[in-house]
Homo-oligomer: A and B are copies of this chain.
Amino acid sequence: MRSSLVLSPRDLEFLLHEWLQVESLTKRERYAEHSRETFDAVLELAEQIATEQFAPHNRKADENEPHVVDGKVVLIPEVAAALRVFAEAGMNAAALPEELGGLQLPAVVNQAVHVWFQAANIGTSAYPFLTMANANLLVAHGTPEQVQTYVPPMAEGRWFGTMALSEPQAGSSLADITTRAVPQDDGSYRLTGNKMWISAGDHELTENIVHLVLAKVPGGPAGVKGISLFIVPKFLVAEDGSLGERNDVVLAGLNHKMGYRGTTNTLLNFGEGVHTPGGQPGAVGFLVGEQHRGLTYMFHMMNEARIGVGMGATGLGYTGYLHALDYARDRTQGRPLTGKDPSAPPVPIIEHPDVRRMLLAGKSYVEGGLALGLYCARLVDEERTAEEEADRQRAHLLLEMLTPIAKSWPSQWCLAADDLAIQVHGGYGYTRDYPVEQFYRDNRLNPIHEGTHGVQALDLLGRKVVMSGGAGLSLLGETIAATTARAAGTPWADLGEQLDGLVQQLGAVTATLWGQGDPQVALANASVYLEAAGHVVVGWLWLEQALATEGRDGDFYTGKRQAARYFQRWELPKVGPQLALLASLDTTVLEMRSDWY
């Protein structure tokens, strides 16, 4: 596949360098070994591997789902081959510190690297990305021995990792997990229970699989406060790093999904007695950090995973948009609205305003989503490496605010971009002869996993905007105001004023919601709040992009400006009725009873 149909290198260059000034990070100690050249080199390598190794088997992996033969998960061979190239290029370890074999790449560049693979083949990309999220968690919360044992093999791509949270009876409701972990005399634990929806939960791609498992130690507090986190490797690891006994983590079944079919998605049984490591029942697990603090650690991984989900949604929307654009320039059909001379030759369908509308909407969504994801990744770098503690804290706070939006907004709107990509293709787009239908199916997962849309909404309105006395919302407002202040006196002053008004309204609505005293009423319409806030944030990032084009000529910049105008004129006005609904403290939904449906 042409790389120009996977992602736009020009847009990445614009966002990373002309907008986010990523090169300035090389002045920080952590990234001092890097330069514009090393960033470009790794991005070009990512583009090449994504295009040549990942994209070509995207459809084949969709059509040939993982299946079980003799108890082993069988994948098409292209997956292992692509992941080998990926690992050999050092991509697994791109963001890890040098001492663990990594490239110590800034998070923002690493995110740009990732999105190439997500756009090219979301199913195959999940294996290393879950692995890296797992490794990052261990680096943050594991003991030095745990890090040394598990992280380097994952960095090399010899082992992969998972996150095992959900259970069949308790999807989003982690308070209700029932997997038990019983402490042993040697400091290890024995786990029993069943986990559901575990991506990459079993396969033969690697020698070992490192599961990070949430479980409850008997006698602990009820609910989420009694959850602990354990490392449960598929094969136990000896002190010298060699693989030992088979642990009692057993594949209990595969899930068959509408999309994302290339990623093995599993039910796993822990400690059901299929294996008895050390002659004892139960899966051997090793506590990460302290007992009962598992959810806190897991949220470290979850926040990263949520931004990663948003970026996956963006990647899928982006490639869909680029395919639609390519098709619309190539496919001839019909004639201009005016001058329907039937003897004139048909025109490329991009000449039809409604096709241009769909493509412009798609452009505003996918480029907006990419800007949002990269901005968040840039905040991760700021959080890690800013010189002043106050700056690090501000970055942390802003990132906390933006995480539910960075997860949910692209999951909604870049899915919409794939929907529009099908529509641009007409009947052909609905067939499996064109790739856009797969992007649409794949992308439909993103509003569900790693916390549904509704869960993100409660996170934003129920936690993030009220934490620290509303400091997060204030900071977001100040950050947007700094941009709109720069817009004054430019052709973008009107967009700045529009955003100022919306931010002010959002603050007022938040005060109204939490001021009326009933948390049920405050939270009942949280999804609308999430969507309104998301559009305001992306509108702001479109203003940021528009300002970054000022003084620059050429089609690329003109297109950016037109997409910003589209978002201003077509998208931001949708927020008005949402805020009005919230401000009215509408209880239509809250009043509705099960028997009335």
Contact = CB atoms under 8 A, between A and B. Distances in A.
A431 B197 CA distance: 10
A449 interface: yes
A360 interface: yes
Interface residues of A, number: 101
B433 A256 contact: yes
Contacts of A360: 588-589, 592, 597
Identify whether the interface residues of A are mostly helix, strand, loop, or mixed.
Answer: helix
B586 A342 contact: no
Contacts of A594: 329, 348, 350-351
Interface in A91-137: none
A573 B569 contact: no
B573 A577 contact: yes
A148 interface: no
A357 interface: yes
A444 to B, nearest CB: 7
A412 to B, nearest CB: 10
A149 interface: no
Interface stretch (A150-158, A181-189, A516-524): A516-524
B580 A430 contact: no
Interface stretch (A139-147, A236-244, A289-297, A420-428): A420-428
Interface string A409-451: 0000000000100110011011111000100110011011100
A340 B175 CA distance: 10
A222 B444 contact: no
A353 to B, nearest CB: 4
A27 interface: no
Q: How many copies does the complex hold?
A: 2
A273 interface: no
Given A520-B337, A577-B574, A591 B562 contact: yes
Contacts of A224: 342
A250 interface: no
A510 interface: no
A590 B336 CA distance: 12
A422 B427 CA distance: 24
28 contacts: A169-B333, A171-B426, A171-B427, A173-B346, A176-B342, A224-B342, A225-B342, A255-B427, A255-B433, A256-B431, A256-B432, A337-B458, A350-B594, A354-B527, A356-B592, A357-B524, A357-B589, A422-B444, A422-B448, A423-B448, A423-B454, A427-B448, A430-B448, A555-B595, A558-B596, A559-B595, A569-B584, A573-B580
Given A196-B427, A555-B593, 8 more contacts: A255-B427, A329-B594, A337-B520, A353-B525, A423-B452, A570-B581, A570-B586, A577-B577
